[in-house]
Structures are given as C-alpha cells and as structure tokens.
Structure 1
Amino acid sequence: MRIEQPPGSRGSLKWIQRSVAEKWHTLEAPILSAAGGSELRWYSPLAADSYAEYRDEACLGLLGQLHLADALQDFWPARGPQWDALAKTDSGAVVLVEAKSQISELFSPGTAIGEAARLKVDAVFENLADRLKAASRRARWTEHFYQLANRLAYLDFLRRHDVEAWLVLVNFVGDAEMHGPHSDAAWEAAYQVVWHVMGLPKRHALSSYVVHVHPDVRMNGQHAL
C-alpha cells in the first residue's frame, strides 16, 4: 500500500521529510556506521513521490524484496507497519525508519483489527518475545507498545528471510514546537524505560540491528519545507 502524505509542517513528519531531502549528516552517518556502506539511497519519503509512505507488499516491492510477499501475508495481517522512511545502502542493506519528535509517541495501543488478525498478531508477539527472551512479567505489547513491537517483528521477519535489514529509530532532538526532548540523553532514558517495561533485556537477538539516531533540528535550521 502506498499512502501519499502532505508536506510536513510540524513534528516528525516535517523533520523526516526534510532530513531525507537534505541528506542530513546527523541522520545518515550513524546509519551507515551501523549498516555499512558509504551512501544511502532513499526511496521514501520523496517530494517527487508526494512524500508517500509504504507498507505491506508495496514496501517489499520498493526495497526489491517482492519475492517475500506471500511469506509476509502468512506472517502478518494486512495493513502492517507504515514506514516513515525507507532506504538501502550502496552495499545492499535495507533500512526501515520509524521517526519521532516527542517521547509520548513511544506509547501506542493496538489498532482496531478483526479477531483473526488479532490472534495472528498475538501469536507473532508471543513468539518474538520468547525468542528475544523477554521477561514473562511484562506489559502487554498489543496494548501499550504495539508500534514498537510490530517494527521489531518486521525486522525479525526480514532477518529470518536472509535480508540484511536494520531498524532505525530516528528521534529528533530540539523540536520546541512539539515540546520534544532537548538532548540525546532524554531519548536514551525514555527508551531504557520502554525496553524494560516491554520486558526486553539490554542485549537480545535483534538489538545489534536496531539503530538509535538523534538528529538535532536546531543544528539544521527551523524553516519549513
């Protein structure tokens, strides 16, 4: 599914569109350092593509992984993660981006889906939690951390199908308009709490493929797109 977006005027929509368009060093350098390669090719969001965001089969096609469409359909219900940005490195690594500008966005309940779809999601989360050795006494992911959990699940799906994929959590610093955090440390502390409440250990099978990036919007100007 391809979902067109307006030019962002505030918050993470504004800053992810702008940082991708302007190829901010503070966005790209940490990704390349982790994933390898010397250059990123961004596939979304692009002005020439109406800043469209992608999910499901359309996401796979954009990243050259359409052969996994049937497997993804078996793995996850329709209307899976809608990615804020998608890219590949010149070495072929797939980059999946979730962007935020305020800490409150870390907490998300599940979306309204049918019973069959919910059972499938619950099974995926339980399986993932077991393999990541999450604590048995943890917050229910579908009720409190649905978005983060399904991003991790999608990363896991690609990795288990031999795709060199990376989940990049872009947390913008200094977005005064949105009352966002003013330091990397504030984001890092927030994620420590979130991972703990989700029951995830500091190191698990996917942690090496999750990259935290903190572009400071104050260093890149405050002009809207």
Structure 2
Amino acid sequence: MRVIQPKGIKGSLKWIQDAVRRSPNLLQPQELPTIDWVSPLEEDDYAEYRDGAFLDRLRIGHLTASLKDFWPQRGPQWDALGLTSNGPVLVEAKAHVREFFSPPSQAGLRSLEQIERAFEIVRADLGVRQAMNWTELYYQYANRLAFLWWLREHGIDAKLLFVSFLNDADMAGPKYAETWEAAFAAANYALGLPEKNKLRRHIFHATPDVRELAT
C-alpha cells in the first residue's frame, strides 16, 4: 500500500521529510554505507509504504507472498525507507517520547492470531524467556523488530534505524539523546528482550537535533 502524506508541519512527520530532503547526513549511521533514500520523497507525494508496496519500493517484491504468510494486511507503515549497497534500511521516527508508548494492536481476531503466531516465533528465536505479550505492550516497537527479523530470515541484509529527534519544542520532545536511550532500554526490558540477541547489531539509532533542520 502506498500512502500519500501531506507535507509535514510539525512533529516527526515534518522532521523526517525535511531530513530526507535537505539533510540526509543527519540520518546516516557511521557504521552503514551511504543510504539512498527512496521514501518519503517530495516528488513521490511524500508517500509512505506498507505491506507488499514497501517490499517493491526496496526492490524485494519477490517476498510479497511470503510476507502474507507471516503477517496480515495493514502491517507497519514505514516513516522512511532507504537502500545501501548491502541492503534495505527500515526507519521508524519519533519526535517525543509519548509516541513511543503505542497502543495495543487493534487487529481483528483472525489477524491478531496471525500476529501472535509471528511474535511467538520471533520471541523464541531471540531468546525471550518469559511469555511476554508483544501485542499489548510497545506493540509498534515490537512489530518493527519482527519485520527486521523476518527480512533477515529471508536472506535480506536489512537494517532497522530508529530516528529519535531532539529539541522539538512544539512537541515537548527530549533535549538529550540519553532520554531516548532510556526509553529504548525500558522497552527492551518490558518486552523481555535479551541484551545479546541476533538482531542487536542490525539495529541503529540516530538522534538528529531539529534545530539543525530549522535553520
């Protein structure tokens, strides 16, 4: 699904569009090859992508049928997507910590059962020992992790980049990167995610200061 977005006027929608368009260097982890951004782009109506459309955008559309077996329709809608010489980069962006506390899954019964099966497989492979319910707590964060896991299980060298903006005064966003670090640490603890797991080295964080984008 291709979802056309308005030009952002505040919050993470504004800042991720501005960063991709004007200052992609602020989103670039040093450990990764240069990212070629494929969304959101001004010339593409700032569209965001989900389901098979996000795979097509990343040139791995051959996995669409397999994705349907793993996850129901209306899966994660990615704030940004990029490509490096090694593989795709999936992006989730936030401007304030409240955004991080996503509500539980709103999926219908049949879809929820499929999501729970997917989470069960992911949790087992990542060494989550407790029977944590990932559909209730930090659901958005959990499903992003699940999609990274799924892509990598299909031989795709995917990376997951969390972009956590600083100093968004309009949204009362954090001033310091340490605030975001604490939020992610709390989420990992709540989800029962071991510090050492097979996804860890494929997850990256960027904390751009919006004051650099506002100038």
Q: Which category describes the TM-score, using the shorter chain as reference length?
A: over 0.9
What's the CA shift string for 1:96-123, capped at 9, x where partnerless? Answer: 0000011111111233222111111011
Q: Which amino acid aligns with 1:120?
A: Q
> What CA RMSD, in Å, does the superposition of the two structures yield over aligned residues?
1.3
> Which of 193, 203, 210 matches 2:186?
193
Name the % identity.
Answer: 45
**Count of equivalent residues:** 215
After TM superposition, the score normalised by the length of structure 2 is 0.96
The corresponding residue for 1:24 is: 24
- Asked if 1 retains the 8 angstrom alpha-carbon contact of 2:90 and 2:160, the reply is yes
Structure 2 residue matching 1:42: 3-state secondary structure:
strand
Q: Which amino acid aligns with 1:53?
A: E
Structure 2 residues not aligned, in runs of 5+: none
CA distance in 2, matches of 1:105, 1:131: 28
What's the CA shift string for 1:51-74, capped at 9, x where partnerless? Answer: 000001111111110110110011
Q: CA deviation at 1:46?
A: 0.6
CA distance in 1, matches of 2:105, 2:136: 9
User: Is 1:112 aligned with 2:106?
Assistant: yes
The corresponding residue for 1:134 is: 128
The corresponding residue for 2:202 is: 209
User: Is 1:34 aligned with 2:52?
Assistant: no
Structure 2 residue matching 1:143: 3-state secondary structure:
coil
> Which of 111, 119, 125 matches 1:125?
119
The corresponding residue for 1:56 is: 51
The corresponding residue for 1:67 is: 62
The corresponding residue for 1:153 is: 146
CA distance in 2, matches of 1:46, 1:24: 12
CA 1:70–1:137 in structure 2 vs 1: closer, same or farther (change >3 Å)? closer
